[in-house]
Chains A and B, each alone.
Chain A
Amino acid sequence: MLGLNQDAVINPAQRRRLVRALRAFLPEAAVLHTEETLKPYECDGLTVFRALPMLVVRPTTESDVCRVLAICAEIGVPVVARGAGTGLSGGATPIGNGVLMSLAALNRIIAIDPLARTATVEPGVTNLAISQAVASHRLYYAPDPSSQIACSIGGNVAENSGGVHCLKYGLTVHNVLKLRVAMMDGTLVELGSAGCDCAGYDLLALLHGSEGLLGVITEITVKLLPKPAEARVVMAAFDTISAAARAVARIIASGIVPAGLELMDHAATNAVEAFAHAGYPLDAQAILLCESDGASDEVDDEIECICAILADCGASTLRVSSGAEERLQLWAGRKAAFPAIGKLSPDYYCVDGTIPRRHVADVLQRIAALSQHFGLRCANVFHAGDGNLHPLIMFDAALSDEVERAEAFGNAILMLCLEVGGSITGEHGVGLEKLDAMCAQFESAELASFHALKHAFDPLGLLNPGKAVPLLHRCGEVAARQRQRRNPQHTNLPVF
């Protein structure tokens, strides 16, 4: 539910006790508790959820993180870990009677090993800073969420972030080798290894996308890849979405795994063209951007195959980048999609869901019908390579019921994703935003095992409580509301 109230009664005596305990080993500036200093932390990238925490703590070392956790565990105060606060599902929204722990000051690059192709960093280091730090070795860190200049690697692990290169280079979970994690009681564990595997269960994978509910990540060792010698992009325009979707399927079936494969619909194309002047044809119903990277001969061959398929599928315009500058220009439009929509509408709501690619034409058509039904405009950008939809619903929060309508429209899109065998979130996470939608994706027994897993890591239930996994009674209420609306089809949808 958008705009959920996260306030809770703060116990002033408890706050005083905590401030005293923390200031015993932290500098004054690292413990914030006045309203004006707390204000910048009241929300993450999903600004409809806001709450002031009881206090903010900014540790600068791993051992301080552990001490803060141990103290909070002892007093029984919930802790929300926050990286750069760029998350889009409210995962870092503070809890009114809890501590918000900012990890932004743990921002050191600890080690770079060019021969082993790894970098070991603290959680507050930004995603892009890693690639910049290793660029001189002709290496890079592959996952590149669109917020990469600002988002922190710790947050990337917590959300299992993606980006436009996921199909070929994987998600965060595929590119992290090892984590050091502080448990709620202040003990440290090491998960994964600098090698290819470790003994025991794959807890490294389990921590990815766990949204700060299982532990606080204090150190990350990432895998680095050789920088491709060459990258070129093709822009193709289509008269119909279904022709573009056919081209996507044909490219992948032909044995090519593009480095990036993005689709934009007519509304998105027009919005970004006015904003970024990337050179997209304005009459196209769909624009595809397809990138190839690798050794330069290899890229030339691949681009030739891609162009042949695109032409065969009826592309009305084909443009291949001939240099770095033209490549950036062709990408500029796609990268400006969110700010471009921001210019068109006072507010917009970025939906995140995934579908099997074969349903894309049908799903986009049904989203257009929903847009009519809810009376709200919607532009679509789509990570076509990995089936990740990002419909951008335009609304005006100042108008009477538009927030509710935008929310209902977004939820209808997520249910559509489930209906065709997809998921309610591809990369933004559940946070607070999608708790109700989780009730539709999972059965009670599955949700119960998520809660039990959290309990295994955090028996006191103090790490980011209330996020990511809905309580079973909440799902009961959601189901009851749906029955009232005589809309029973959303309860038990299979995932496969």
Chain B
Amino acid sequence: MCAETPLLGADSELRAVIRTATERQTKLCLRGSGSKDFYGGTGPGLAVDLSHYRGIIDYAPEELVIVVRAGTPLAEVEAVLSEAGQMLPFEPPQYGGGGTIGGCIAAGLSGPRRPYAGASRDYVLGLRLIDGRGQSLQFGGAVIKNVAGYDVSRLMVGAMGTLGVLRDIALKVLPRPRVERTVCFACTEPEAIVRMNRWAGRMPALSASSHADGVLALRLSGSAAGVNAALRELGGELLDDAESYWRSLRDQHNYFFTQAEPLWRVSLPPTAPPLKIPLPLMIEWGGALRWLVGDLDYAAVQARVRGLGGHITAFRGAPRNIPVFQPLPPALEQLHTRIRDVFDPHRIFNPGRFCSQQESDHQR
């Protein structure tokens, strides 16, 4: 399974680019395929194409572990796993299939299976990165249990490349479920929130959920016996072509997501009550993820979401004066700055891309 690909994007080249950027006080915009260019803030810098560093380093299905170079296309990783009957359990968005595994982990996005199987960060076992000093650092490993040293690997997940350039990534994988079925019910939003939560507490076979336009959809995964038992208990109407439905949610590309801009991503405790914002709404993740499309009063909604214990992200197409990521409380903001000092002291990587670092990055 070990692919031998020429390593055009060798570490030495990358180090040279980092060294030059440090000397000239310029910035670098880290980029895999560019499939998530829409996501996160923007800032100045030289685009660095990381997609040449690709290939599967090690994959043994019986270990449930795959080690890949960060520039490997996500679609290639998924295809190799699928051949052995396995998958990335967090069902990452593919955005047209061009995305790289490095971009996937750096963005830390997960798909419909997230609340039931875990997030991208839950499946990262170890990684190697090049930090802002040009050092190659390796954390975690290719084993499922490992508590040596701080869990820096997981810290990198969702850090949007602001803490280093991801190079080699070890991921835990799982068998694909033998059977998947999706059933639909007509119900209101408050009812859907309660039902999603209630079933999640009773039915380990649950693997995805959504509610939009008065329709609750639940996906069941597992062995034939497990799924059938759950279907009997649930009732509802079987959805044809469920695979493409969940794919369209995973990649946010069906009519709901594209009917208007901006696209807002609201993360909440799963039992949080309806937000009652007069915009089209899609609920996912058992109630913990609520998408809204269209213009809204950002300050008011942010305050409400924060009050409910959640956070709002201007996921796609928002005006530039609105922060992409919800600003952090001061104590956490300070901690973030200090952590960035550890891995990117010269603020070379992805200025302005992440969190409320926009302002502080520009000031430097």
Residues of A participating in the B interface, judged by any CB pair closer than 8 Å: 113-117, 137-139, 159-160, 162, 166-167, 170-171, 173-174, 183, 187-190, 193-203, 205-206, 208-210, 214, 224-226, 228, 249-250, 252-253, 255-257, 294-295, 297-298, 300-302, 354-358, 383, 386-388, 421-430, 434, 437-438, 441-443, 445-446, 449-450, 452-453, 455-457, 468-469, 494-496
Closest chain-A Cβ to B279's Cβ sits at a distance in Å of 20
Tell me, yes or no, whether B128 is within 8 Å of chain A by CB: yes
Residues of B participating in the A interface, judged by any CB pair closer than 8 Å: 57-58, 60-65, 67, 84-85, 108, 114-115, 118-119, 121-122, 126, 128, 131, 135-152, 154-155, 157-159, 163, 168, 170, 174-176, 178, 194, 197-198, 200-205, 222-226, 228-230, 267-272, 285, 288-289, 309-311, 313, 325-329, 331-332, 335-336, 338-339, 341-343, 355
Q: Which residues of A contact B194 (CB under 8 A)?
A: 115
Decide yes or no: A206 and B150 within 8 Å by CB, A226-B203, A358-B60 being known contacts.
yes
Pairwise interchain contact A445-B137, C-beta atoms closer than 8 A: yes
Centre residue among A159, A170, A437, A496 by max chain B CB count within 10 A: A496
Return the contact of B146 from the options A170, A190, A205, A426 (Cβ within 8 A). Answer: A426
Report the nearest A residue to B114, measured CB to CB: A196
Pairwise interchain contact A250-B62, C-beta atoms closer than 8 A: yes
Given contacts A200-B332, A496-B170, list 17 more A-B pairs with CB under 8 A.
A166-B145, A170-B118, A193-B267, A196-B115, A205-B154, A206-B151, A226-B204, A250-B62, A256-B175, A297-B225, A356-B142, A430-B149, A442-B148, A450-B150, A457-B338, A495-B138, A495-B142
Closest chain-B Cβ to A466's Cβ sits at a distance in Å of 15
A469 CA / B150 CA spacing, docked (Å): 9
Report the nearest A residue to B223, measured CB to CB: A298
A445 CA / B331 CA spacing, docked (Å): 28
18 contacts between A and B (CB under 8 A): A115-B194, A170-B122, A171-B145, A195-B270, A196-B270, A196-B288, A203-B155, A209-B151, A226-B200, A256-B175, A257-B175, A294-B226, A295-B204, A357-B62, A449-B343, A456-B339, A496-B126, A496-B168
A449 CA / B226 CA spacing, docked (Å): 46
Pairwise interchain contact A173-B332, C-beta atoms closer than 8 A: no
A160 CA / B125 CA spacing, docked (Å): 14
Q: Which residues of B contact A199 (CB under 8 A)?
A: 311, 313, 325-328, 355
Pairwise interchain contact B151-A453, C-beta atoms closer than 8 A: no
Centre residue among A250, A257, A456 by max chain B CB count within 10 A: A456
Pairwise interchain contact A160-B175, C-beta atoms closer than 8 A: no
A255 CA / B336 CA spacing, docked (Å): 40
Pairwise interchain contact B146-A425, C-beta atoms closer than 8 A: yes
Decide yes or no: A202 and B121 within 8 Å by CB, A115-B198, A210-B150 being known contacts.
yes
Grouping DSSP codes into helix (H, G, I), strand (E, B) and loop, the A interface class, with mixed when no group exceeds half, is loop
Report the nearest B residue to A428, measured CB to CB: B147
Decide yes or no: A446 and B119 within 8 Å by CB, A115-B194, A189-B335 being known contacts.
no
Pairwise interchain contact A160-B65, C-beta atoms closer than 8 A: no
Pairwise interchain contact B335-A354, C-beta atoms closer than 8 A: no
Report the nearest B residue to A172, measured CB to CB: B147
Decide yes or no: A193 and B122 within 8 Å by CB, A253-B62, A423-B143, A426-B143 being known contacts.
no
Decide yes or no: A453 and B121 within 8 Å by CB, A187-B331, A430-B147, A438-B148 being known contacts.
no
Q: Which residues of B contact A166 (CB under 8 A)?
A: 144-145
Centre residue among B143, B205, B341 by max chain A CB count within 10 A: B143
Pairwise interchain contact A425-B148, C-beta atoms closer than 8 A: yes
Pairwise interchain contact A295-B229, C-beta atoms closer than 8 A: yes
Return the contact of B121 from the options A193, A205, A441 (Cβ within 8 A). Answer: A205
A132 CA / B323 CA spacing, docked (Å): 44
Decide yes or no: A423 and B201 within 8 Å by CB, A198-B311, A201-B158 being known contacts.
no
Report the nearest A residue to B326, measured CB to CB: A199
Which 3 residue pairs across A and B have the least CB separation, nearest first?
Answer: A205-B154, A297-B225, A456-B338
Closest chain-A Cβ to B60's Cβ sits at a distance in Å of 6
Q: Which residues of A contact B289 (CB under 8 A)?
A: 195-196
Pairwise interchain contact A421-B201, C-beta atoms closer than 8 A: no
Pairwise interchain contact A456-B229, C-beta atoms closer than 8 A: no
Return the contact of A113 from the options B135, B136, B271, B326 (Cβ within 8 A). Answer: B271
Q: Which residues of A contact B225 (CB under 8 A)?
A: 295, 297-298, 300-301
Q: Which residues of A contact B224 (CB under 8 A)?
A: 301
Pairwise interchain contact A116-B138, C-beta atoms closer than 8 A: no
Pairwise interchain contact A421-B328, C-beta atoms closer than 8 A: no
Pairwise interchain contact B145-A427, C-beta atoms closer than 8 A: yes
Q: Which residues of B contact A210 (CB under 8 A)?
A: 150-151
A121 CA / B60 CA spacing, docked (Å): 40
Pairwise interchain contact A117-B200, C-beta atoms closer than 8 A: yes
Report the nearest A residue to B233, measured CB to CB: A295
A167 CA / B168 CA spacing, docked (Å): 23
Closest chain-A Cβ to B360's Cβ sits at a distance in Å of 13
A355 CA / B145 CA spacing, docked (Å): 9
Closest chain-B Cβ to A443's Cβ sits at a distance in Å of 8
A425 CA / B119 CA spacing, docked (Å): 24
Pairwise interchain contact B146-A423, C-beta atoms closer than 8 A: yes
Closest chain-B Cβ to A318's Cβ sits at a distance in Å of 21
Closest chain-B Cβ to A450's Cβ sits at a distance in Å of 6
A196 CA / B112 CA spacing, docked (Å): 12
Q: Which residues of B contact A452 (CB under 8 A)?
A: 341-342
Q: Which residues of B contact A424 (CB under 8 A)?
A: 148
Centre residue among A196, A301, A387 by max chain B CB count within 10 A: A196
Pairwise interchain contact A441-B148, C-beta atoms closer than 8 A: yes
Q: Which residues of B contact A193 (CB under 8 A)?
A: 267, 269, 309-311
A494 CA / B137 CA spacing, docked (Å): 11
Pairwise interchain contact A387-B143, C-beta atoms closer than 8 A: yes
Q: Which residues of B contact A196 (CB under 8 A)?
A: 114-115, 119, 267, 270, 285, 288-289
Return the contact of A257 from the options B139, B174, B178 (Cβ within 8 A). Answer: B174
Pairwise interchain contact B147-A449, C-beta atoms closer than 8 A: no
Centre residue among A194, A295, A426 by max chain B CB count within 10 A: A295
Closest chain-A Cβ to B142's Cβ sits at a distance in Å of 5
Pairwise interchain contact B202-A226, C-beta atoms closer than 8 A: yes
Closest chain-A Cβ to B80's Cβ sits at a distance in Å of 15
A457 CA / B155 CA spacing, docked (Å): 14
Pairwise interchain contact B288-A195, C-beta atoms closer than 8 A: yes
Q: Which residues of A contact B311 (CB under 8 A)?
A: 193, 197-199
Closest chain-A Cβ to B175's Cβ sits at a distance in Å of 4
Pairwise interchain contact A298-B155, C-beta atoms closer than 8 A: no
Return the contact of B150 from the options A253, A294, A453, A455 (Cβ within 8 A). Answer: A453
Pairwise interchain contact A358-B62, C-beta atoms closer than 8 A: yes
Pairwise interchain contact A159-B267, C-beta atoms closer than 8 A: no
Closest chain-B Cβ to A357's Cβ sits at a distance in Å of 6
A426 CA / B121 CA spacing, docked (Å): 18
A388 CA / B63 CA spacing, docked (Å): 13
Pairwise interchain contact A423-B148, C-beta atoms closer than 8 A: yes
A468 CA / B149 CA spacing, docked (Å): 7
Closest chain-B Cβ to A209's Cβ sits at a distance in Å of 4
Return the contact of B147 from the options A137, A214, A252, A427 (Cβ within 8 A). Answer: A427
Q: Which residues of B contact A300 (CB under 8 A)?
A: 225
Report the nearest A residue to B84, measured CB to CB: A253
Q: Which residues of A contact B202 (CB under 8 A)?
A: 138, 226
Pairwise interchain contact B154-A173, C-beta atoms closer than 8 A: yes
A187 CA / B205 CA spacing, docked (Å): 42
Report the nearest B residue to A224, measured CB to CB: B201
Centre residue among A194, A437, A445 by max chain B CB count within 10 A: A194
A193 CA / B289 CA spacing, docked (Å): 13
Closest chain-B Cβ to A116's Cβ sits at a distance in Å of 4
Report the nearest A residue to B202, measured CB to CB: A226
Closest chain-B Cβ to A160's Cβ sits at a distance in Å of 5
A422 CA / B157 CA spacing, docked (Å): 22
